[in-house]
Structure 1
């Protein structure tokens, strides 16, 4: 990805995360990307391409923030992973998952649904890898999704509950 495309995608991600997918006008998106309208359309020729670029950027950032340099010990990694999701929710989005929001804004888009599915599958795969809970992809994903959705109402209580549930998976040795 070029530096220009990264800059555009980052700006678009910020705009959609803060204002949703319907509200920002093309001019708002251009301003958020800090490029000319011509450059914006050169790299993202339609609004749906803008949404996809923003979500691809967010996907890479999320995986990096949650899983890069995570502790090697699976038990320590489990709590660290949930703590990082809590920090992400606190600093990046307290409104829930941007990927689900995108699909909800355009439910007929196969490309958005595919991106949502890929994002969630990669998150689950990375989570299982760092926690050594092989075979628990769905269970870990359910806990992570629950944390994401419960964050707006329960914040740290949701985080502590997610940790407790994750530790319970380890004890069950599913």
Structure 2
């Protein structure tokens, strides 16, 4: 069962990332998931459930890619983390954050807002822990979110700017 939901979630993530949340038909989502319509609805009974499954899958992939095996040196961890966010943007999210796009597509969904908040809070907490900057979650999230939002306009320059600003966190009083 876990393997099937993983397969479905991965296909749904690809479809929503490529086509947005309004465009793909259920048939296109079924094809992207590589399952029958019956199986798709068995594991994700509504379009809202499909979006949530896709975003949960994306969350796991993002966290694994950004936070796995960071250098132990504080500044090195932050530079690496920000470079990985830039790499993610270049390869996976050239149009911006899929979590924010999902909330923008369905702003009244409490479930989507809760998932967005949980994802961003976990990113901030993991960044603060990995970089040895406890209590600086807000500043780190601002750096990461700023990088994510400015990537489509500035690309690699956004990474360099975020890294430069990030280094200042180690000298600034809390």
Q: Specify the TM-score bucket, using the shorter chain as the normaliser.
A: over 0.9
- Whole-Å separation in 1 of the counterparts to 2:9 and 2:95: 20
Structure 2, gaps ≥5 residues long = none
In the TM superposition, what are the counterparts of 1:84-123 in structure 2 within 5 Å?
Answer: 84-123=84-123
Superposition map of 1:7-156 within 5 A: 7-156=7-156
Q: What is the Cα deviation at residue 73 of structure 1?
A: 1.5
Q: TM-score, normalised by structure 1?
A: 0.98
- Secondary structure at 1:140's aligned position in 2? helix
CA distance in 1, matches of 2:25, 2:78: 40
Distance (whole Å) between structure 1 residues aligned to residue 154 and residue 40 of structure 2: 38
Give unmatched runs, 5+ long, in structure 1. Answer: none
Structure 1 CA distance, aligned partners of 2:173 and 2:86? Answer: 25
Distance 1:99 1:167 in 2: 27
> Residue deviations 1:35-92, cap 9 Å, x none?
0000000000000000000000000110000001111121110100001001100110
CA distance in 2, matches of 1:93, 1:22: 17
Give the CA RMSD over aligned residues. Answer: 0.8
When the two structures are superposed, what TM-score results if normalisation uses the length of structure 2?
0.98
Tell me the secondary structure at the aligned position of residue 170 of structure 1: coil
Equivalenced residues, count: 174
State the shift of 1:173 in Å: 3.7
Distance in 2 between residues matched to 1:93 and 1:18, nearest whole Å? 9
SS of 2:158's equivalent?
helix
